[in-house]
Amino acid sequence: MVDPLPLSDRRALVTGAASDIGRAVCAALAELGADVVASDLPGAGLEALRQEGVELRPADLSSMPEVVALCSTPADILVSVAGFAHVERFSAGDTTLWDKLWQINLRAPMLLTRELMGPMTERGWGRLVYISSDSARAGAAGEAAYSATKAGLLGFAKSIAREVAAAGVTANVLCPGVIDTARSREILDGHGNMREALLRAIPARRLGEPAEVASAVGYLCTPAAAYLTGQVLSVNGGITMV
């Protein structure tokens, strides 16, 4: 008799699913047996996931009604990957972008959690995983506003973890370092020797892969991680150790 996959009969909602990390998370959860619902802005990126056999739910996370509508069907797992980044020195920053940073990076995960965690606690099982950033733990020049909104996820997840742990629901945060995505390649390849300097600073001497972030997400969502909650894990090749 073949053992069932660890996430068989579990439904997972993944936001930011069209990103490199989001796609890898969808694939990892599907491989573990989960029924995956992929959400992102409407467009070719999200449509490309259709061939992966996941359910598509387009949504703009800066819109509160659209965020709430995503939760019309209960989920056993929430993986909040979606994020909006803007890099510039804080003293010259565009304050009009602060609202968008807050809405997507922090308010949306909070709203999704509020809508989904009640049914999770009633069922006695749930997984809440928030993708933050290593800059939320260690800081990064040019990312003050972004880091502030991503850092909010750390305190939020720890607080939620205390509220729902006894009901069989866990809440954890992953902080990726520099991952080899289309966005990071665009930045690194457009700034002289930035890539070489960065690789020298990373003890692993390479960028991370989206699948390496996704494998950590997958573990946190399995029954094997039932006693792991309120934690912050950096997937960063050792560039920071905090």
The Cβ of residue 200 has, within 10 Å, a number of other Cβ atoms equal to 10
**Choosing from 130, 146, 219, 227, which is the catalytic residue?**
146
146 in catalytic set: yes
**d(C-alpha 75, C-alpha 83), whole Å:** 20
H helices present in the chain, as ranges? 20-31, 44-47, 64-69, 98-102, 108-123, 134-138, 144-164, 182-189, 194-201, 210-221
**d(C-alpha 224, C-alpha 242), whole Å:** 25
Tokens encoding 186: 């665009």
Active site residues: 146
